[in-house]
């Protein structure tokens, strides 16, 4: 049997994190896996799976400005983005025989497809949600993205097929498509993490996403809470950084945690703050914990998800530039009974194995 290549996008840790249950499904079935990624994703995967071979596969670098829309950053990087898709595609074509690859699963890497092997793309965003003047460009963006999607054997959507699911209009289409396979929630966590009766930590802030916004939000949190009496942990989302660093005034900065340590911190924390990134929301639903969600400025997808879930009552939300007016949800736990995965992922993996 040939090898399976799994390659998440390096844009924060969300894409790699949601590939964890996919990787472990194949490990349980004794399938030979090769991983590929770069930057933080490479560090995350190498730390988590030290015995699996991993290839350094650079991806497109998006320059994320401190102000303005992500759409503008993407527009400025469009030529490089398209070149990177071609480059990734050529790399895969050259690597299939070299690494004896029989199939590939990538997360939001549009160039990693081949006509010679089954190619699967994980993405929750098959529709674009923009705002303001950018809405005029939605039809063209839809056309371009669906052109990319058509290159793949199947599109794997980490959501349930029933609307609104977790991603709402981002992951659901009006007309069914035989290429689309819904996987349910993809989270590296397996069980709920109910809050302790007497939590020892007032706030846990979970940082994620690309720079410089990750650091900007970290500095906002430090400035907001440094002169309070609240006991706070900030999980920085930096697996390659130095170990835990202590700050005064009750704030502890933690570079990265293993899953069991993360869950232990979750159950000991009364309130949670995090981005409204899709992988973060999937983790919270799996853990059945609510949070104050703060969308990355200018990232229309996160702004849409923040509105969607704030309106549902599961989370509260505030813009980053208004964070001083933060308020936490009245309740600490949510139910995910309406988004049960129903072995979607297991069935998808069995299908891939038959194609290897």
- What residue ranges in 75-116 does DSSP mark as E strands? 101-107
pLDDT(46) > 80: yes
- Higher-confidence position of 57 and 173: 57
According to the model, what pLDDT value does residue 158 have? 97
For residue 70, pLDDT over 60 is answered with no
Encode pLDDT of 99-156 as tens digits: 999 999 999 999 999 999 999 999 999 988 766 545 555 667 778 888 999 999 999 9
Say whether pLDDT at 25 is over 90.
yes
Band (pLDDT 50/70/90 cuts) for residue 324 is: confident
Eight-state DSSP code of residue 62: P
pLDDT over 60 (residue 63): no
How many C-beta atoms lie closer than 10 Å to residue 297's C-beta? Answer: 20
**What Cα–Cα distance (Å) separates residue 186 from each residue in 177, 226, 265, 322, 326?**
21, 35, 21, 31, 29
- What is the distance between the alpha carbons of residues 54 and 16, in angstroms, rounded to a whole number? 13
274 within 8 A of 206, measured Cβ to Cβ: yes
Domains of the chain: 3-185+341-355 (3.40.50.2000), 201-335 (3.40.50.2000)
Q: What is the mean pLDDT of the chain?
A: 89
Helix (H/G/I), strand (E/B), else coil: 86? helix
pLDDT digits (tens, 9 = 90+) for 209-246: 888 899 999 999 999 998 888 999 999 998 877 777 77
pLDDT classification of 72: cutoffs 50, 70, 90: low
CA-nearest of 113, 118, 122 to 89 is 113
Cα distance between residue 143 and residue 355, in whole Å: 29
Distance CA 29, CA 45 (A): 19
């Amino acid at each position: 049997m040939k090898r399976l290549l799994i390659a998440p996008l390096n844009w924060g840790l969300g894409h790699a994190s949601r590939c964890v249950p996919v990787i472990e499904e194949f490990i349980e079935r004794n399938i030979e896996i090769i991983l590929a990624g770069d930057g933080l994703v490479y560090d995350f995967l190498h730390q988590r799976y030290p015995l699996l071979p991993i290839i350094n596969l650079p991806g497109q670098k998006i320059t994320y400005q401190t102000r303005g829309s992500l759409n503008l950053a993407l527009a400025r990087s469009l030529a490089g983005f398209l070149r990177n898709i071609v480059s990734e595609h050529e790399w895969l074509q050259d690597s299939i025989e070299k690494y004896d690859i029989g199939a590939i699963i990538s997360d939001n890497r549009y160039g990693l497809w081949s006509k010679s092997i089954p190619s699967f793309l994980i993405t929750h965003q098959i529709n674009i949600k923009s705002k303001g003047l950018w809405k005029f460009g939605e039809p063209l963006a839809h056309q371009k993205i669906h052109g990319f999607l058509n290159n793949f054997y199947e599109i794997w959507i980490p959501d349930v097929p029933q609307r609104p699911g977790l991603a709402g209009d981002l992951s659901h289409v009006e007309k069914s498509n035989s290429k689309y396979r819904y996987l349910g929630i993809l989270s590296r966590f397996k069980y709920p993490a109910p809050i302790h009766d007497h939590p020892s930590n007032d706030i846990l802030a979970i940082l994620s996403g690309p720079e410089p916004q990750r650091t900007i939000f970290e500095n906002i949190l430090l400035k907001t809470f440094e002169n309070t009496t609240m006991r706070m942990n900030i999980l920085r989302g930096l697996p390659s950084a130095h170990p835990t660093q202590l700050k005064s005034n009750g704030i502890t900065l933690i570079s990265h945690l293993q899953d069991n340590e993360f869950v232990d911190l979750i159950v000991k924390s009364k309130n949670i703050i995090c981005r409204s990134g899709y992988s973060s929301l999937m983790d919270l639903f799996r853990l059945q914990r609510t949070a104050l969600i703060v969308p990355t400025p200018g990232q229309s997808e996160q702004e849409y998800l923040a509105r969607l879930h704030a309106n549902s009552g599961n989370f509260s939300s505030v813009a980053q530039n208004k964070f001083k007016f933060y308020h936490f949800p009245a309740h600490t736990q949510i139910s995910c009974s309406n988004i049960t995965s129903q072995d979607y992922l297991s069935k998808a993996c069995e299908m891939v194995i038959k194609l290897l």
